[in-house]
Amino acid sequence: MIVKQDRTYFWRKVHSLSGLIPIGVFLIIHLSVNFTAILGEEAYNEAAAFMGSLPFNTILAIFVIYIPILFHGIYGIFISREAKNNISSYRYERNWYFYLQRLSGIIALLFIIWHVATTRVPATFGAEVNFDMIANLVKNPIYLVFFIVGTLMTIFHFANGVRTMLITWGITVSEKSQRLGKFIAVTLFILLSAIGIVAIFAFV
């Protein structure tokens, strides 16, 4: 029983860390590349082409992006199934954060799958991931709304995940330090959301 608890504790710590490194780092880079769209079509195409021309791009994508995301998403679903969401009985702030973290994780995972299916999958068959590809996608109002919601939910999941990771790893133990962790999470959410939404509408 103790061994099982230790194993669960270990994998939960790995799960929380993977949300920051490498997934969170990739999210920030991806949002930054998208943000270049505000400078025009050429600027975005150059940034996207640079990312696509990195050495060992396929290997990096598999081991630094896809596998970590799959692990984080699948194990996150496992955690969600075990979770007891009691916001109807206990409407405390932490319970809402707990519930929203699980909900945003599921939405984020669905959004990422959809995003990969509409960009990276066509790219493997010769399509170029460029300004026109994204602009054509967001012409569809349903996709545009899903793009906005998915982006916000992904950013919330990351930002709030940073807060919970700091707790999980024993970095923010006291109430004061946890308030600082919350401030960091809120700041991250606001800044990255602004970057993400502005970037999306640069393609519209």
End-to-end CA distance of the chain: 55
Structure tokens at 156: 């919330």
- What is the average per-residue pLDDT within 181-203? 97
DSSP 19-34: TTTTHHHHHHHHHHHH
Which pair of structure tokens corresponds to residue 73? 């998403």
The pLDDT, as a whole number, for residue 144 is 97
Q: Tell me, what's the pLDDT at 4? A: 60
Q: Which of 16-25, 26-35, 65-74, 89-98 has the lowest mean pLDDT?
A: 89-98
As a whole number, the mean pLDDT across the chain is 90
CA 96 – CA 151 distance, rounded (Å): 20
Q: Does pLDDT of 160 surpass 80?
A: yes
Mean pLDDT, residues 46-75 taken together: 91
* 1 or 198, greater pLDDT: 198
Question: With 80 as the cut, is the pLDDT of residue 11 above it?
Answer: yes
The CA distances from residue 133 to 6, 118, 123, 176, 202, in Å, are 47, 9, 10, 46, 13
Tens-place pLDDT, residues 33-57: 999 999 999 999 999 999 988 888 8
